A and B are shown apart, each in its own frame.
Chain A
Amino acid sequence: MAELGKNIGVLLENATKNLSSTVNEAIQSKNVKLPSGLNAFLSNGRAQNQELTSSQVIEGLNSSSDKEIQTSLKYLVRLMTTKQNSDPELLQYFPHVIKNITSNNLRTKRLVYIILLRYNHMQQDIALLSINAIQKSLTDKNCINRALAIRTLSGIRIPAILPILVLSIKRTISDSSPLVRSATAVAITKCFLLDVSFNKHHAASTLKDESTVPAQMYNFLAILLSDADPRVLSSALNCFYTIFPGYMDLIHPRFAFLVSKLTELEDYSKVILIDLATDYARLYLPKPTEDSMAAELTLLDSKLRSLIYSSSANVVLALVRFYVNVLPFKLDEIPLAKMLVKFLGDDEVTLYVLKEIVYLLDHELVKFSNSQLSYYVPLPNEPFKISELKVYILVKLLNTQNFDQIFTELVFLLNTGSTQLKLAVVRLLNQYRGTAEQKAKIGQLYLSRLDSENEELLVAEYVTGLRIMVQNDLFGNIDVLIKLTGKLVNERELTPVARASIIWLVGEFSNQQYHDDKSVALANFLPDLMRILVRDFRKQEYLVKVEILTALTKLVSKELYGSKQQGEEYNYESLIWKLFNFVLQLTKYDSNVDLRDRSRMIGSILPNVVYLDQDLTATTAIEFQQYYGQKAYVLEKCAEKLNEVELSILLFQTSKPAPISTDSSVNNSNINKYNQVTPQELNSELLEYYNELRAQEFQLKDYNQHKSISHAAKPPPVVNSATTINIEPRQSARKYKLQTLDDFLKEKGTLNVFGGSEDESGPEDEEDEADELATADDDEDARDSEFEKSS
Chain B
Amino acid sequence: MGLIDCLFIADDRNLAIFEHVVNSPAPTFQYVKDRLNSMRKDDFEDSGSSKSVFDNLEPVLDIDANWRVAWTKLDAVYVIVAGETFPEYTEVVSDNEDDEEEDADDATEQKQTVTISRTVSDLQYLQFLTDFGTVVKSFLNGAVLSPAKVELNAHNLLLILQEMLDASFPYLTDLNQLQELLPSNSIFNKIISTTKQIQGTASSSINSLAQGSSLLHASSSASSLASNNFQKGVLPASCIYEKSGNEIPWRKVNVKHTQNEMLVDLVERISWIVPASKSPKPAYGASTYYNLGLSAKKNKPVLATIDGTVYFNSSLSGVPTIQLVLNLNRHDLGVPSFHRCVDTGIWSSNPGVVQFIPPDDKFTLMKYKINLLETESPVNIWNYMGLVDVELIGGLGVERNEFEIKLQAKLLNTVKFIEDLKVEIHVPKDHTVRGLRITHGDLQSRNSVQEWVFDKMLPTGINCTFRGQLLRSGGDPSTFKPDFVTVSYSNKGSVPSLIKVDSMKIISGGSTNVKPYKGVKYVTQTNNIMHR
Residues of chain A at the chain B interface (Cβ within 8 Å): 4, 7-8, 11-12, 15-16, 19, 33, 35-38, 40-41, 48-49, 66, 73-74, 77-78, 81-82, 84, 104-108, 110-111, 113-114, 118, 142-145, 147-148, 151, 155, 157, 176-180, 182-183, 186, 189-190, 193, 204, 207-208, 228-231, 235, 238-239, 241-242, 245-249, 264, 266-268, 271, 275-276, 279-280, 283, 306, 308-314, 317-318, 335, 338-339, 341-342, 344-345, 348-349, 351-352, 369, 371-372, 374-375, 377, 379-381, 384-385, 408-409, 412, 415-416, 667, 670-671, 673-674, 676-680, 683, 685-686, 688-689, 693, 702-704, 706-714, 716-717, 729
Contacts and interface: CB of A to CB of B under 8 A. Distances in A.
B364 A249 contact: no
Contacts of A349: 123, 126, 130
Interface stretch (B107-115, B258-266, B279-287): B107-115
Contacts, number: 370
B76 interface: no
A379 B528 contact: yes
Contacts of A678: 89, 114-117
Given A186-B166, A309-B338, A679 B115 contact: yes
Contacts of B21: 118
B445 interface: no
B245 A73 contact: no
A674 B89 CA distance: 11
Given A381-B528, A408-B275, A268 B124 contact: yes
A37 B190 contact: yes
Contacts of A241: 118
Question: Quick one: which of B91, B106, B107, B246 has the most chain A CB within 10 A?
Answer: B246
Nearest to A704: B245
Interface stretch (B248-256, B452-460, B512-520): B248-256
A306 B369 CA distance: 18
A676 B106 contact: no
B244 A245 contact: no
A180 B210 CA distance: 47
Contacts of B367: 311, 342
Interface stretch (B300-308, B402-410, B467-475, B497-505): B300-308
B173 interface: yes
B382 interface: no
Contacts of B202: 8, 11-12, 15
Contact of B93 (A108, A204, A271, A381): A204
Contacts of B336: 309, 342
Interface of B: 1-3, 16-21, 23-24, 56, 58-60, 72, 86, 88-96, 98, 100, 103, 106-107, 110, 113-124, 126-130, 150-152, 154-155, 157-159, 162, 166-171, 173-174, 181, 185-187, 190, 194, 198, 201-202, 205-206, 209-210, 231-235, 238-249, 251, 253-254, 271, 273, 275, 301-305, 307, 318-319, 321, 334-340, 342, 344-345, 347-348, 364, 367-369, 371, 373-374, 426, 483-484, 486, 508-509, 527-528, 530, 532
Nearest to B28: A84
Contacts of A674: 119-122
Contacts of B273: 374, 377
Nearest to B30: A84
Contacts of B171: 182, 186, 235
27 contacts: A35-B231, A78-B155, A81-B154, A108-B233, A177-B243, A182-B171, A183-B166, A186-B169, A190-B23, A231-B249, A235-B171, A245-B118, A247-B93, A248-B94, A249-B96, A268-B3, A310-B337, A312-B123, A348-B72, A348-B129, A377-B302, A379-B527, A676-B88, A678-B114, A703-B243, A706-B243, A711-B246
Nearest to A715: B247
Contact of B244 (A37, A110, A339, A703): A703
A339 B59 contact: no
A77 B155 contact: yes
A632 B154 CA distance: 90
Contact of B181 (A81, A84, A144, A679): A144
Nearest to A103: B233
A379 B273 CA distance: 9
